[in-house]
Amino acid sequence: MTAKKFWSWLAVFVAAFYFIVPLLATLEFSMRMRRGTYSFDAYRSVFADDRFASTFSYSVVMALITIVVGALLIVPTAYWVRLRMPYLRPVVEFVTLLPLVVPAIVIIFGYLRLYNSSSWLPLTNTDMGANALLVFGFMTMSLPYMYRAVDTAMRTIDVAVLTEAAESLGASWPTILFRCIFPNVLTGVLSGAFITFAIAVGEFTMPSLLNRPAFGPYLALIGANKAYEPPALAMIAFAMTWVSIILINITTRLQKGAAGAR
């Protein structure tokens, strides 16, 4: 092994150590619920709690709605900016970056001021209204990631020429968008979708202040009151993240044409 290779491998091992040791420690601690032996009691306890299933399924549904609505808003926006209004790109990029500097608590207080029970549009009066506000909040928070993922995917195809080719073949705008553009930026949409999923499932501030039965507040509650269940929940969340990454890979591989063209 040459000296260069040795240092490369050393860097890999140090990085792996840095990431793996805390995970192993969390896993180890989550299995110590039963005294004197390792067990999955903490995991059993988490899965036995009805609130886990209800809050998790609620957050998943909210996340999926956020992804669909977000994709329907962002893909046409990114497409239109790239195709017809490139001069608006700096403005759109600035707007999509705003959620990174405006904290979630500021956004949600803004919502509560605008849509409270005594406002002209009292969305917080009903569950449906509050759910809608939560989806808008998630969409805003995921905007920087979703927009960039879609925009980067669009950069890999010649949007203008593909649009003109489709137009010359008689295609209308919806056909062009959903049959020629969308399938070719699906990888980007999926990357953005999984980040959105992670944000929506783990978010605490927004659902908490909107009083929604989401997974984030449940995690905080368990963390404050129990010892072994929080690390078990952290490991479950970690496993879900890995499943998401694997799903991205599988989808990318299945999308033969678009993936190969990159």
Partner 1 sequence: MSYLELSHVQKSFGIVKVVHDFNMSINEGEFVSFLGPSGCGKTTVLRMIAGFESVTGGTITIGGVNQNGLKPNKRNIGMVFQAYALFPNMTVAENVAFGLKVAGTSKAEIEDRVKEMLDLISLGHLADRYPYQMSGGQQQRVALARALANKPKVLLLDEPLSALDAKIRVSLREEIRLIQRKLGITTIFVTHDQEEALSISDRIVVMNAGIADQIGTPSDIYNRPATRFVAGFVGTLNILEAKVENREAATVRVAGRSINIPPANLNGAGDGAAITVALRPEALSLSKTPSSDVALDGRVTSVNFLGSVIRTRMDVEGQQVSFDMFNNPGLQPPQIGEIATAHFKASDVLVIPN
User: Closer to partner 1 at the Cβ: 110 or 183?
Assistant: 183
Closest listed residue to residue 247, CA positions, set 194, 199, 201, 200 = 194
User: Closer to partner 1 at the Cβ: 28 or 158?
Assistant: 158
User: Closer to partner 1 at the Cβ: 20 or 160?
Assistant: 160
User: Closer to partner 1 at the Cβ: 118 or 168?
Assistant: 168
As given in the structure block, the two tokens for residue 136 are 């808008």
- The neighbour count for residue 63, using CB atoms within 10 Å, is 25
The least distance separating partner 1 from the CB of residue 148, rounded to whole angstroms, comes to 21
The least distance separating partner 1 from the CB of residue 152, rounded to whole angstroms, comes to 16
Residues in the site for partner 1, rule: CB under 8 A?
157-158, 161-162, 164-172, 175, 179-180, 183-184, 255-258, 260-261
Calculate the alpha carbon distances from 183 to 150, 156, 259 in Å. 12, 13, 10
User: Closer to partner 1 at the Cβ: 131 or 184?
Assistant: 184
- Dihedral sign for Cα 170, 176, 181, 183, please: negative
The least distance separating partner 1 from the CB of residue 181, rounded to whole angstroms, comes to 9
The least distance separating partner 1 from the CB of residue 170, rounded to whole angstroms, comes to 5
Closest listed residue to residue 116, CA positions, set 127, 125, 104 = 125
- The neighbour count for residue 93, using CB atoms within 10 Å, is 14
User: Closer to partner 1 at the Cβ: 136 or 182?
Assistant: 182
The least distance separating partner 1 from the CB of residue 150, rounded to whole angstroms, comes to 16
The least distance separating partner 1 from the CB of residue 161, rounded to whole angstroms, comes to 4
